[in-house]
Amino acid sequence: MPFIPHTKFEEKEMLDFLNISSIRELFKENAQGLLDAKPKSNLDKSLHDSLSEYDLAKLLQKRASLDSGYLNFIGAGAYEHHIPAAVWELASRGEFATSYTPYQAEASQGNLQLIYEFQTHMSRLTGMDIANASLYDGATATAEAILMAIRSHKKCKTKNILIPESLHPNYIETVKTVVSHQNVNLIKVPFDSDTGIINLSALEQIFKEHKEKDDAILATVIAQPNFFGSLEDVHNITDLSHKYDALVISVVNPTTLALLEAPGHWGNNGADIACGEGQPLGIPLASGGPYFGFICCKTPYVRNIPGRIVGRTTDTGGKDAFVLTLQAREQHIRRSKATSNICTNQGLLMIAATIYLCLLGKQGIKAVAAKSFENTHYLAENLAKINDIDIKFNSDYFHEALIEFKNKSSNFVDELLSKLENSDKKILAGLNIEKYYPNLPNCLLICATETKSKDDLDLFINEVKKHI
């Protein structure tokens, strides 16, 4: 049966009302190539034919198998961690999986309590006073944090935002898309060619130049760890930003916060806003998503936080009760007054993350972070013992590192990745970052989480040796 239950007569009535001749005209603003796209493979082509339920299930199982069975050393914003079986067994229960926004508090106490617990976990991890009830993903959470900073910093009359080139390139592009039509001026901060992190002297020079022109900086974005896995000097960057009356937006990986200093404790006064991607907290890679974002802040900025906040109170009988205490999203308020116009709140994924954090506890999440740190350092240091391989940057790193292949052809990294992926070992060896950073040729971003055994790491090292 058709997915859209309209008869041809009804379709014609609607088209006549709109004064157009075909449904295709509704999409005339789309690129022609998208409208005329052809199936790229036999798998895609078969979806255009009628299939029975059984045949469709077989087809999708075959498609799912195309990206399974690999030994994965890619990080770059999406991380392979062990997920206890109980996480999705519980998150998939009907009362969670099929529930929607908890508009009726009296009928949604379980959901509201779980969101409240999520907020508590994230506040403790980030060292912030307030956490919201999740956002769309880490990239849009970063854009939301910038817009939140602009609303919060009323004293600053500019919209100048310092954004490091070492922030995830996809985050940078997303931020540009979201804020480009809101007169926000994104000022790129270069990374040091030797360390891969922000140079404090160069950063202060940017602040001074803008101050002299009476063109103040409103906020500084800091990625910790940054895209290269390197650890920024967050304490001095935070203090320097506050010295020039700029807010600090921290973009963090929640797993690393089990060991690294929480953003709320950076420098003398801490970061003002913390955001990031929640995928490492019990969300599978799942062929690319979906994921969820989070955002936290200090108390003075709570009225400008996007999304929702769940609060705890007592009912008339004196029992604990949970309610939505702040929900200035566009469903509840005029669009122009909303703190967020990105309405997808990844509630189910946030629920899974809460269960993950509850199951692992404080010591468990520390163990995950410590083992990931240990594995990546073992991998990077042993690869660097091979001739013509170096760790690119002279700086501390956490569970990702950038390695450089010396004296190789311009397409060496792509060839190496292809050979390892298509070998019988099925190794996904990392990410070639040259397309994002043309000034970093023959560099490979690698990651090893707690899911890798010493045998896995040694296998990777030995396979690389064969192709050097």
- For the record, the structure tokens of 104 come out as 């009726």
User: How far out from the chain centre does Cα 75 lie?
Assistant: 11
Of the candidates 59, 42, 145, 78, the residue with the CA atom closest to the CA atom of residue 289? 78
pTM metric for this prediction: 0.87
Contacts of 379 (CB under 8 A, 6+ apart): 73, 401, 446, 448, 452, 457, 460, 461
Q: Give the model confidence (pLDDT) of 283-337 as tens digits.
A: 999 888 899 999 999 999 998 998 888 999 998 889 999 988 877 655 556 666 7
Which pLDDT does position 26 carry in this prediction? 84
Mean pLDDT score, 339-346: 73
Mean pLDDT score, 153-181: 95
Contacts of 8 (CB under 8 A, 6+ apart): none
Q: What kind of architecture, by CATH, is found in domain 71-78+362-466? A: Alpha-Beta Complex (3.90)
Contact 450, 82 (CB under 8 A): yes
Q: Give the model confidence (pLDDT) of 357-378 as tens digits.
A: 999 999 999 999 999 999 999 9
Residue 205 has pLDDT above 90, yes or no: yes
- For the record, the structure tokens of 175 come out as 């931020």
- φ and ψ of 116, to 5 deg: -60, -40
Q: Give the model confidence (pLDDT) of 435-446 as tens digits.
A: 999 999 999 999
Q: Rounded to whole angstroms, how far apart are CA atoms 120 and 128? A: 10
Contacts of 468 (CB under 8 A, 6+ apart): 386, 387, 388, 389, 405
Count Cβ atoms within 10 A of the Cβ of residue 8 and give its class: 0-12 exposed, 13-18 middle, 19 or more buried: exposed
Which pLDDT does position 56 carry in this prediction? 86
Which pLDDT does position 351 carry in this prediction? 93
User: How far out from the chain centre does Cα 331 lie?
Assistant: 24
Q: Is 325 helix (H, G, I), strand (E, B) or coil?
A: strand
201 vs 59, residue with greater confidence: 201
Query: Domain locations in the chain?
Result: 71-78+362-466, 86-357
Q: What share of the chain is helix, strand, coil (3-state, %, to 5)?
A: 40, 15, 45
Q: Does the structural domain 86-357 have CATH classification 3.40.640.10?
A: yes
Residue 145 has pLDDT above 90, yes or no: yes
Contacts of 166 (CB under 8 A, 6+ apart): 191, 196, 197, 198, 223, 226, 227, 228, 230, 232
Using 50, 70 and 90 to split pLDDT, how confident is the model at 18? very high
Q: Give the model confidence (pLDDT) of 453-464 as tens digits.
A: 999 999 999 999
- For the record, the structure tokens of 393 come out as 């940057």
Contact 114, 310 (CB under 8 A): no
Task: Count other C-beta atoms under 10 Å from residue 261's C-beta.
Answer: 15
Which pLDDT does position 1 carry in this prediction? 43
Q: Rounded to whole angstroms, how far apart are CA atoms 425 and 463? A: 9
DSSP state of 54: H
Taking the alpha carbons at both ends of the chain, their separation in whole angstroms is 56
Task: Count other C-beta atoms under 10 Å from residue 324's C-beta.
Answer: 18
Which pLDDT does position 59 carry in this prediction? 85
Which pLDDT does position 334 carry in this prediction? 64
Which pLDDT does position 337 carry in this prediction? 72
Residue with tokens 């040694």: 458
Contacts of 426 (CB under 8 A, 6+ apart): 69, 70, 71
Q: Rounded to whole angstroms, how far apart are CA atoms 335 and 290? A: 25
Q: Rounded to whole angstroms, how far apart are CA atoms 357 and 428? A: 28
Q: Give the model confidence (pLDDT) of 30-57 as tens digits.
A: 666 666 656 555 555 555 567 889 988 9
Which pLDDT does position 390 carry in this prediction? 96
Residue 396 has pLDDT above 80, yes or no: yes
Mean pLDDT score, 96-106: 75
